[in-house]
Amino acid sequence: IRASNCRYAHIGDAVVAVIKEAVPNTPLERSEMIRAVIVHLQRTQTRQRDDNTK
């Protein structure tokens, strides 16, 4: 679990979000706060390479 003042979220992080737009006939309303988990990132995860890898 990361600190609550982190600037970016990563996969598996729990975040609090506010709904800006809602589709009609859904149980969610505009300006409602929800809790969510990050499951997909637009940018791929980068891993640091060691000097001894090929």
**5-43 pLDDT, tens digit each:** 778 888 899 999 999 999 999 999 999 999 999 998 887
Place of tokens 């979000």: 17
Distance CA 29, CA 50 (A): 48
pTM attached to this predicted model? 0.58
Burial 8-30 (b: 16+ CB within 10 A, else e): eeeeeeeeeeeeeeeeeeeeeee
Place of tokens 């637009």: 42
Task: Give the per-residue pLDDT at 49.
Answer: 73
